[in-house]
Amino acid sequence: MEKIKVEICVGTTCFVLGASALQDIEMFLPEELKDKVEITGANCLGLCKNSHFGDAPFVRINESIIVSQATIDSVINEIKKLVK
Ligand code: FES
**Over the stretch 63-77, which tens digit does the pLDDT of each residue have?**
999 999 999 999 999
pLDDT of amino acid 42:
97
- List residues bridging with 40 in a β-sheet: 7
Q: In angstroms, rounded to a whole number, what is the distance separating the alpha carbons of residues 12 and 32?
A: 32
* Residue 84 confidence (pLDDT) above 80: no
For all residues of the chain together, what is the average pLDDT? 94
CATH fold for domain 4-83: Glutaredoxin (3.40.30)
Dist. CA 14 → ligand 1 center (Å): 5
Round the CA-based radius of gyration of the chain to a whole number and report it.
12
- List residues bridging with 53 in a β-sheet: none
Cα 82–chain centre separation: 14
Dist. CA 81 → ligand 1 center (Å): 24
More confident residue, 54 or 77: 77
Burial of 40 (0-12, 13-18, 19+ CB in 10 A): exposed
Virtual torsion, Cα 14, 2, 26, 63, nearest 10 deg: 0
Looking at the CA of residue 56, tell me the nearest atom of ligand 1: 2
pLDDT of amino acid 49:
87
Q: Where are the domains of the chain?
A: 4-83
pTM here is: 0.93
Q: Identify the band that residue 36 occupies on the pLDDT scale cut at 50, 70 and 90.
A: very high
* Residue 52 confidence (pLDDT) above 90: no
